[in-house]
Structure 1
Amino acid sequence: MSKPLVVFVDRATIPPQIHLPELTFDHQWMSYDTTSADELLPRVLDAEIIITNKVVFDATVLAQLPQLRLLAVAATGVNNVDIDYCRAHGIAVANVQGYATQSVPEHVVGMMFALRRNLMAYHQDICRGVWQQEKQFCFFTHPIGDIAGKTMGIIGSGALGQATATLAQALGMQVIFSERKGRNECREGFVPFEQALQQADVLTLHCPLTEETRNLISSDELEMMKPDAILINTGRGGLVDEQALVHALKQGDIAGAGVDVFTQEPADESNPLLANADLPNLLLTPHVAWGSDSSIQKLAGILIDNINAFIRGEHQNRVV
């Protein structure tokens, strides 16, 4: 019997300093830093196991992979995989969960402090010579707010949402979890979606991107928020209408926004957030909230363990 072929189609999504543990079964291994749509089929045609982070496997691609048994997703989100097709055709899908419960919440808190205290705006003012013009030992061109005693609204109550809540509470914040948008009855411990928007001083997103959550936060939702509120998105780019967010920041509908994820990644000059990156109340990072070395090493361990478990016949972190 030939050894199963394992192909990692976008190894560069994991930094080179991160060690991938060994698979515990005999196999053939192929790894590519990146894989374009044109390169995909020739590389994976004979693969029984494919590792992907962001490369898309839709029904058209999957239908041409007769040997495929497992798609091991090197992330939590599986919106790049046609799950319905996999389920209908007996292709297993496993993802990685719980690896960034330190990294993402700390990134959220870092963005929250930077925006609430207007650190970027003060940095820009110093670069423009405002301090010298003021002729004082300090100057106050932007409001500086405290975090303790404020309310954090969290959309998404999974591991990342819960871990973010723990950090927020340790900082003296009140935490409320939002019920799903459009749901009439609230689960215990949740508040209605609109109420969360209206009460939150900091609103942070930790829900998956689905057709129901696409543009979850758009013009109407931003107008419901407090004018001194902050929006932070470390979830998925499509959760927020990017053009509406830029408009809200310019109009003062909200005080600031921290964005780590974009509708298209990498984002280019056509993205309204990048086109307005000089706004003093907009903080952008390149999808790195999850990316502390310790978190990525944990991800790598879970990823390989998922594959080993599949070969042993175990259902571990299985989406399908």
Structure 2
Amino acid sequence: MHKIVILDRATLAPQIRVRRPAFDHELVEHAHTAPDQVVERLTGATIAVTNKVRLTVEVLERLPDLKLIAVAATGTDCVDTAYCRRHGIAVSNIRGYAVSTVPEHTFALILALRRSIVGFREDVLNGEWQKSGQFCFFNHPIRDLRGARLGIVGEGVLGQRVAELGRAFGMIPLFAAHKGKSGLGPLYTPWDEVLETSDVITLHSPLTPETRGMIGLSEFRRMKRKPLIVNTARGGLVVEADLVAALDEGLISGAGFDVVETEPPAPANPLMSVAGRPNVIVTPHVAWASDEAQQSLADQLIDNIENFAAGRPSNLVP
């Protein structure tokens, strides 16, 4: 009989139903798990479920019964997958569940920032409309999307869907060639051209050693059209202190970030110092988290566990 331990159930909203696997098992759920609790809670478990709780070499080598780590997310950087490969521990992840929710959140940020929704709302709450003496006022810039150039970094399913939405708004999508590379085919626009000519730049790349810090002050200084920068992918793709400098220097017109390098952010995080500005929106890593997407994730998670127990594992991480 499998013993299944869920380490961080609270990373899914309480209204999301996580069904019981359809085989004989023992199930233990924990809302949160601190690093010093992981080994104790997984001792004797054959299947571990984690979203963000880290399973390092030091943890895994003390868990000889573990057969499957079911990651309740797409990214598997919380698991030492190299150790798992060497020791026969299967790792599965979730795929394709966020194809609507992340692009929609991306455009929620783009629309709110291009039309200065946050600034105008604050003005209304502060009585500026009444003070204006007329039916409208113009304290903030308002820009259409039609005709704007949309630089997309990341050409996977999410980047492609963002491009579709951009075209529906009349934008001109540009898929950025990977930084420092050329000759990648007609789909791609050279990296420097995307930086220099985009009105909006949106990130949909994984965080790897090659992509970490891909946009810093030198890149911001190349952005001739003072674009919006939107990141619904991973913290660490943008150098956060340099982003604040770019805002202060007027190199970009605004920023919409759903992710930061360390989550939750410390009070000293550079983005927290500008999060109250009308041209900055920071959301708490919820672009992925529509009810529909979370339910799809939960269903796929249990499918992966059931398929593994039945001897036909799915969504294995190589």
Question: Normalising to structure 2: TM-score of the pair?
Answer: 0.96
Which residue in the other structure is 2:88 paired with?
90
Distance 2:251 2:294 in 1: 36
Distance 2:238 2:44 in 1: 38
Which residue in the other structure is 2:104 paired with?
106
Distance 2:88 2:177 in 1: 33
Which residue in the other structure is 2:279 paired with?
281
Which residue in the other structure is 2:248 paired with?
250
After TM superposition, list the pairs within 5 Å mapping 1:175-254 onto structure 2. Answer: 175-254=173-252
Which residue in the other structure is 1:35 paired with?
33
**What secondary structure is seen at the aligned counterpart in 2 of 1:160?**
helix
How many angstroms does 1:194 deviate by?
2.0
Which residue in the other structure is 2:49 paired with?
51
**Residue number among 69, 72, 75 corresponding to 1:74 in the alignment:** 72
Once structures 1 and 2 are overlaid, which stretch shifts more, 252-261 or 116-125? 116-125
**Aligned residues of 1:79 and 1:210 also touching (Cα < 8 A):** no
**Aligned residues of 1:79 and 1:209 also touching (Cα < 8 A):** no
Distance 2:304 2:197 in 1: 40
**What secondary structure is seen at the aligned counterpart in 2 of 1:177?**
strand
Paired amino acid for 1:170: A
Paired amino acid for 1:12: A
How many angstroms does 1:75 deviate by?
0.6
Which residue in the other structure is 2:24 paired with?
26
How many angstroms does 1:117 deviate by?
0.7
Deviations 1:107-150 (A, max 9, x none): 01110010001111222333444334432221112211000111
The count of corresponding residues between Structure 1 and Structure 2 is: 318
Distance 1:317 1:197 in 2: 35
1:12 paired to 2:10: yes
How many angstroms does 1:185 deviate by?
2.3
Q: Identity over aligned residues, as a percent?
A: 46
Distance 1:222 1:89 in 2: 44
Distance 1:226 1:292 in 2: 35
**What secondary structure is seen at the aligned counterpart in 2 of 1:238?**
coil
Distance 1:195 1:81 in 2: 36
How many angstroms does 1:66 deviate by?
1.0
Which residue in the other structure is 1:263 paired with?
261
How many angstroms does 1:11 deviate by?
0.3
Deviations 1:204-255 (A, max 9, x none): 1111111111112111112222343111101011111111111111211000
In the alignment, structure 2 segments of 5+ residues that lack a partner are none
Which residue in the other structure is 1:296 paired with?
294
RMSD: 1.4
Structure 1 residues 223 and 315, CA gap change in structure 2 (3 angstroms): farther
How many angstroms does 1:313 deviate by?
2.2
Which residue in the other structure is 1:158 paired with?
156
Distance 1:317 1:225 in 2: 39
**What secondary structure is seen at the aligned counterpart in 1 of 2:255?**
strand
**Aligned residues of 1:6 and 1:50 also touching (Cα < 8 A):** yes
Question: Normalising to structure 1: TM-score of the pair?
Answer: 0.95
Distance 1:299 1:267 in 2: 25
**What secondary structure is seen at the aligned counterpart in 1 of 2:221?**
helix
In the alignment, structure 1 segments of 5+ residues that lack a partner are none
**Aligned residues of 1:202 and 1:230 also touching (Cα < 8 A):** yes
